[in-house]
Amino acid sequence: MTRAETLSIALPALVVLALIIAPLGLDPYGYTLRILCLMLLFCAMGQAWNIVGGLANQISLGHAAYFGIGAYSSTILFGSFGLSPLIGVFVGMALAALFALVLSLPTLRLKGHYFALATLAAGEVARVVANSWTSLTGGPVGISVPYRPDAGFWALQFQTVLPNYYLFLGAMVLVSLVFWRVQTSAFGYRLRAIKENETAAEVIGVNTYRVKLHASLLSAVLTAMLGTLYAQFQFFFDPDTIFGVATISVKMALIVILGGAGRLYGPWIGAAVIIPLEEMANSYLGNSIAGLSQFAYGVLLIVVILLNPRGLISLFESLRDRLKRRQRA
Amino acid sequence: MQATASHTDVLLEIGELTAGYGAQPVLHGISLHVARHEFVAVIGANTAGKSTLLRAISGLLPQCRGRIAFEGRDLTRMKAHQIAGLGIAHVPEGRHVFPEMTVEENLRMGAFSHADRGAVQQALERVFELFPRLKERRAQYAGSMSGGEQQMVAVGRGMMLEPKLLILDEPSLGLAPMVVEEMHQRFLDIHRSGVTVLLVEQNVSLALHSAERAYVMASGAIEIEGSARELLHDDRIRKAYLGI
Ligand SMILES: Nc1ncnc2c1ncn2[C@@H]1O[C@H](COP(=O)(O)OP(=O)(O)OP(=O)(O)O)[C@@H](O)[C@H]1O
Ligand SMILES: [Mg+2]
């Protein structure tokens, strides 16, 4: 193995090790641990988005739909039928795949911002439906996950935040491994070909529609899984947050684009920057100014894309390259 | 017997093709054919519809009416990736490489139809033989190559398919004269190796010296057809395109 290869395995392994150890010194009910949980969750969500948004540059602004479908499916099944979220999660994943399939038929042939706008609209449709289908979702007042502390792991509920933390860490590692597997496969190369030159991809025999569809389904299914985990962590949510444009959809895209789209460590970097920043902003400004974060995300997204479309990871890389050159000189 | 033989020798046959991008068609009833192992050029002024014709063949146009048959199979309802799978490699106008992949990755992308590694490796060696420059630069990102090199990558990637028909759309556009000359030598090599070539070229003199037969397009229709040698001496062409 070359030094670079050793480093590329050792570095993420160290990060994961640090993440395993980190909470041991923290208050298991505490605020810091909750922030770390959100960081891992959003990193995983970004990674799921990265499969199609990053590799193929299909900028979806509607991934909240899959997230919300996952959260509502397991929560409703648990609340109404006592079905364990461990099973409900798969129902949510299946429904999200169905939604992705239906959405893909008209949208996957769209290019660039038309695709982004269509997915944005689809996410909004999901939000409106969840708000108005009161008999199923409870409507705008939101829905609670029934508290069953006695049921233990079967209910996916815990006394402290710590088990949630390790669940999120596991999910983050899992989704990252899926992304890495895709990225380094022939399938991943086809996705990159679509991003870099769709016409060229078509004429060399890539079935661009099918490749995009498969990536979208995979991305949707993973996002729905994370929706269930989020529901079990929060215990309460409403349509406007779970299907939110700013709270979920744009945040997923922003985390990836800020960190580095199409790159394994893009969402890691993005989530490590965005989530703490957001918490700080919230504690200073308070949640009082509704819509401000929405506005801030929009502005941030535009600024990031304009300033450095390759993301923060490219800054690290150019720094590394410069160091290397200096070493050689 | 003779008739049957010449009939099966037609690799690509287009009849009464009407196609375009929206409501207004760009091509108005085009008919042409390319025989197996032939080298055919299509020439014509800007906006004549040459690229549109090539896109119609390789399935890049949403709708077209008429007949496009490749080895007797109807292409009009097929998708681009299916048509590529039949052995038609289209090298589109403008250098369509994958800029953030290396030269070798670009080439390997072209070999999807090959099932096993051995076949891919062989195809790769053949392309490197054709363009030794690409072998030297195999680890370089395609986006950082010169225009001529990028065009070699695009052509080489097409050849990775080991196509029966190679379609080239203005491969010499914007390249230095020396490079253009070199490129055309390679096209002749490719043709000699048994590949049928359909070439669209702005440089009419060069096109007619490379090809065996040619079509002249104007305003979405075929205006003149003939052997390259005839056309080189055709007064209409000498006046309009060769400036003599
Ligand atoms: N994507 C497109 N959408 C709509 N119209 C197009 C498109 N591409 C080309 N056209 C139109 O079709 C006509 C023929 O264009 P085409 O590119 O086929 O010409 P060409 O003969 O290849 O010209 P050139 O020598 O400049 O490459 C032109 O009038 C052009 O404006
Ligand atoms: Mg053209």
Q: Where are the domains of chain A?
A: 3-328
CATH 1.10.3470 matches A3-328: yes
Which chain B residues touch A109 with a CB distance below 8 Å? none
The pair of three-digit structure tokens given for residue A89, joined into one six-digit string: 């999660």
Enumerate the H helices of B12-86 as residue ranges. 50-57, 80-85
The pair of three-digit structure tokens given for residue A255, joined into one six-digit string: 């985390």
Say what the pTM is. Answer: 0.90
pLDDT class for B3, splitting at 50, 70, 90?
very low
- pLDDT for residue A290 is more than 90: no
CB contact under 8 A, A203 and B100: no
Which residues lie below 8 Å from residue A109, measured CB to CB, with a gap of 6+?
A: A209
Question: Strand order of the sheet with strand B165-169?
Answer: B88-91, B165-169, B196-200, B39-44, B213-218, B221-227
Which chain A residues touch B153 with a CB distance below 8 Å? none
d(CA A123, CA A60): 10
pLDDT at B87: 94
Domains with residue ranges and CATH for chain B: 1-87+163-244 (3.40.50.300), 93-162 (no CATH)
Residues A73/A81, Cβ–Cβ less than 8 Å: no
pLDDT at A291: 60
pLDDT tens-digit series, residues A9-45? 788 889 999 999 988 888 878 888 999 999 999 999 9
Distance B53 CA to ligand 1 centre (A): 10
pLDDT at B114: 64
**A198, A204, A212, best to mutate vs chain B, most B CBs in 10 Å:** A204
Å from B15 to nearest chain A CA? 22
pLDDT at B7: 46
- Kindly give the number of the ligand 1 atom that is closest to the alpha carbon of B53: 18
DSSP secondary structure code for residue B111 in this structure: T
- Kindly give the number of the ligand 1 atom that is closest to the alpha carbon of B220: 14
Distance B220 CA to ligand 1 centre (A): 10
d(CA A214, CA A162): 34
pLDDT tens-digit series, residues B188-241? 999 999 999 999 998 898 999 999 999 999 999 999 999 999 998 888 888 877
Q: What percent of chain B has pLDDT over 70?
A: 95
Å from B101 to nearest chain A CA? 9
pLDDT tens-digit series, residues A164-201? 999 999 999 999 999 999 999 999 999 999 999 999 99
Rg (CA), chain B: 18
- pLDDT for residue A294 is more than 70: no
Which chain B residues touch A197 with a CB distance below 8 Å? 96-99
- In this structure, the residue with its CA closest to atom 18 of ligand 1 is B49
pLDDT tens-digit series, residues A233-262? 999 999 999 999 888 999 999 999 999 999
pLDDT at A272: 94
The residue ranking higher by pLDDT, A294 or B172, is: B172
Rg (CA), chain A: 20
Mean pLDDT score, A55-59: 94
User: Position of tokens 């509704």?
Assistant: A290
Least CB-CB distance to A202: which of B81, B154, B157?
A: B81
Mean pLDDT estimate for chain A: 90
Give the number of other CB atoms < 10 A from CB of residue B176: 12
Least CB-CB distance to A204: which of B60, B100, B110?
A: B110
What interhelical angle do A162-183 and A31-49 show, nearest 10?
A: 20
pLDDT at A27: 83
d(CA A191, CA B40): 34
d(CA A124, CA A120): 6
DSSP secondary structure code for residue A329 in this structure: -
Å from A88 to nearest chain B CA? 39
Give the number of other CB atoms < 10 A from CB of residue B2: 6
Helix or strand run (H / E) with residue B25: strand B25-35
Helix or strand run (H / E) with residue A105: helix A85-107
Q: Provide the ipTM.
A: 0.89
Give the number of other CB atoms < 10 A from CB of residue A180: 14
